[in-house]
């Protein structure tokens, strides 16, 4: 019995969601759970505690949602161009329906009525993820704000993410180039031609998949000076999405995962110190 208890303690204290798994990169995992940007807990329950709308321009309405983590109680802010369908949860709380749907209000009919409809993006794709239904979140995405990633890299990466969500491809491309530029600088990679610098980064991190780093060869950066946005062609949105994810993955591997592993090992050795060998 005693050894059984000991094992359950390890499970509770050491379990952490795998930081590289895809679902942990999202804000909303489904209609019930999300990754809290404050307590950094994955798979926690959220509720919508407030929502409303305002005129963003003469023709556009923005819908805002305040989301509260049911674990730490902190609140985040999310903007969408859609009035999102919600379902009641408990007496007053609400959650989003999943996959997300929008509420279309028909003001032209005599009695205003509303219908629930699927969401399609600009390219006509069916929006299946809640994250894709929002164009701005504060705090910004879960992993780009991980403070273990140096701020000089995090900031342009957030710019890239935000611009991409608004379909500003020039800003997004510049943000990505700047992030890679800052990454190479932060890692003290000497100034050479771009491909050689990426190869040097590969040598510095032999545990990182070289194929992943090779993807960064597409993201040319200038040396010795800040970037001029007009020097390179913009990436298209699909390429940007891919390169942004590749970059996040690399940053996780370099700055986040080694620290997570170190902490888990420390916890293990702490437990080991307390665990007294059984007398036979
Ligand atoms: Zn929380």
Tens digits of per-residue pLDDT, 2-46? 444 444 333 333 333 344 444 446 789 999 999 888 877 778 999
CA-to-CA distance for 274 and 280, rounded, in angstroms?
Answer: 18
| pTM given for the model | 0.54
Q: What is the pLDDT of residue 94?
A: 93
- pLDDT on residue 224: 47
Domain assignments of the chain as residue spans, ordered by start? 147-280
| Number of other residues whose CB lies within 10 A of the CB of residue 29 | 19
CA of 34 to the centre of ligand 1 (A): 9
- 84 Cα: distance to centroid of ligand 1 (angstroms): 22
- In this prediction, residue 189 has a pLDDT band, given cuts at 50, 70 and 90, of very high
| Cα 81 to ligand 1 centre (Å) | 25
Q: How many angstroms is it from 42 CA to the middle of ligand 1?
A: 9
Task: Choose among 96, 94, 95, 99: nearest CA to 121.
Answer: 99
pLDDT, position 31 = 92
Cα–Cα distance measured from residue 101 to residue 63, given in angstroms and rounded to the nearest whole number: 14
Q: Are 178 and 163 in contact (CB under 8 A)?
A: no
Distance (angstroms) between ligand 1 centre and the Cα of 241 equals: 27
Average pLDDT for 118-134:
89
Taking the centre of ligand 1 as the mean of its atom positions, its distance from the CA of residue 73, in whole angstroms, is: 6
Which are the contacts of 220, defined by CB distance < 8 A and separation ≥ 6? 177, 194, 232
pLDDT for residue 206 is more than 90: yes
């Amino acid at each position: 019995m005693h050894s059984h208890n000991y094992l359950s303690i390890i499970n509770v204290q050491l379990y952490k969601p795998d930081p590289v798994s895809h679902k942990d990169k999202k804000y909303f995992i489904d209609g019930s759970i999300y990754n809290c940007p404050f307590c950094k807990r994955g798979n926690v329950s959220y509720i919508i505690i407030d929502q409303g709308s305002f005129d963003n321009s003469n023709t556009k309405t923005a819908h805002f949602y305040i989301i509260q983590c049911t674990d730490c109680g902190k609140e985040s802010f999310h903007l969408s161009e859609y009035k999102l369908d919600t379902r009641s949860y408990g007496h007053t709380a609400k959650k989003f329906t999943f996959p997300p749907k929008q509420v279309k209000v028909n003001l032209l009919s005599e009695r205003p009525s509303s219908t629930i409809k699927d969401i399609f993006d600009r390219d006509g794709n069916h929006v299946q993820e809640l994250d894709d239904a929002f164009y701005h979140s504060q705090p910004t995405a879960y992993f780009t704000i991980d403070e273990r990633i140096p701020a000089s890299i995090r900031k342009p990466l957030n710019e890239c993410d935000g611009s991409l969500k608004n379909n500003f491809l020039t800003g997004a491309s510049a943000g990505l180039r700047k992030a890679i530029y800052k990454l190479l600088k932060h890692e003290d990679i000497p100034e050479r031609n771009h491909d050689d610098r990426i190869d040097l980064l590969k040598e510095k991190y032999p545990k990182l998949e070289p194929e992943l780093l090779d993807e960064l060869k597409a993201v040319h950066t200038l040396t010795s000076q800040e970037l001029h946005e007009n020097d390179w062609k913009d990436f298209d949105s699909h390429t940007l999405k891919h390169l942004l994810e590749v970059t996040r993955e690399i940053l996780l591997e370099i700055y986040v995962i080694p620290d997570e592993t170190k902490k888990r090992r420390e916890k293990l050795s702490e437990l080991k110190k307390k665990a007294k060998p059984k007398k036979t």
